[in-house]
């Protein structure tokens, strides 16, 4: 069985100072795919709850996937790619590009594991050079979105299960592992790896990092540049 060194990355507020799902929600409003005021109010309420108690993933996916019900996956992909090219990719921290390159040059296996929807995470991951990319699965049927989730969410403990399932599929075991994340919601995977790396941590994660002696990485939001 091969032994791997893993470098696992969260995406939102870790590699870039934005939340892809929130940016996509705003883009759907611009496209006229959602009822603006009602959608904004519900989305804001869920995000506030996320910051305080954690995300109600079922409620969030119901809100954000319902507007995609019956929409052609290709049309959604084109709208997402425009968002990635114009807004998300230029926001990636310059230091994040260098960090990714450092792990690649060391021969590590890079994984992107995000709680954002898979149709957002996959194009971002490809643009960042990842080959192993995991986001919340969103169901498609006959080339269209169904408006429903498509599998277990890559959120909280779900990220650990995702990485373990990937390792099993690779028939590999871990020699050493790093995980970069900003959020206390990722504590399960931060505890799972050998080298947790809180990155621009929120207050709850920073407090836990200080308690456990984990080194924190701070990326400068003024340094954003594409590779």
Catalytic site positions: 10, 12
State how far Cα 126 lies from the chain centre.
Answer: 13
What six digits make up the tokens of 98? Answer: 């260098």
Strands 109-117 and 132-136: parallel
Nearest alpha carbon to residue 93 among 200, 187, 214, 179: 200
CA 40, 45, 48, 53 torsion: positive or negative?
negative
The whole-angstrom separation of Cα 174 and Cα 155 is: 21
Judge contact between 15 and 93, C-beta under 8 A. yes
What six digits make up the tokens of 214? Answer: 């984990």
SS3 call for 15: coil
CA 169, 157, 59, 206 torsion: positive or negative?
negative
The whole-angstrom separation of Cα 99 and Cα 131 is: 16
């Amino acid at each position: 069985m091969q032994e791997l060194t893993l470098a696992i990355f969260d995406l939102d507020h870790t590699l870039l100072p934005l939340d892809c799902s929130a940016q996509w929600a705003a883009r759907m409003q611009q496209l006229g795919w959602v009822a603006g005021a009602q959608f904004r109010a519900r989305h804001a309420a869920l995000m506030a709850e996320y910051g305080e108690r954690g995300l109600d993933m079922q409620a969030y996916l119901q809100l954000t996937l319902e507007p995609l019900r019956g929409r052609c996956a290709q049309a959604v992909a084109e709208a997402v790619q425009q968002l990635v090219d114009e807004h998300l990719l230029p926001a990636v921290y310059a230091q994040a590009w260098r960090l990714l390159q450092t792990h690649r040059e060391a021969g590590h296996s890079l994984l992107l594991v995000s709680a954002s929807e898979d149709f957002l995470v996959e194009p971002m991951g490809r643009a960042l050079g990842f080959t192993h990319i995991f986001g919340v699965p969103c169901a498609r049927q006959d080339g269209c979105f169904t408006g429903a989730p498509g599998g277990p969410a890559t959120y909280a403990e779900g990220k650990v299960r995702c990485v373990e399932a990937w390792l099993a599929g690779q028939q590999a075991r871990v020699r050493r592992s790093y995980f970069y994340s900003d959020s206390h919601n990722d504590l399960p995977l931060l505890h799972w790896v050998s080298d947790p790396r809180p990155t621009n941590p929120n207050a709850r994660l920073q407090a836990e990092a200080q308690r456990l002696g984990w080194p924190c990485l701070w990326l400068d939001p003024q340094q954003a540049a594409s590779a």
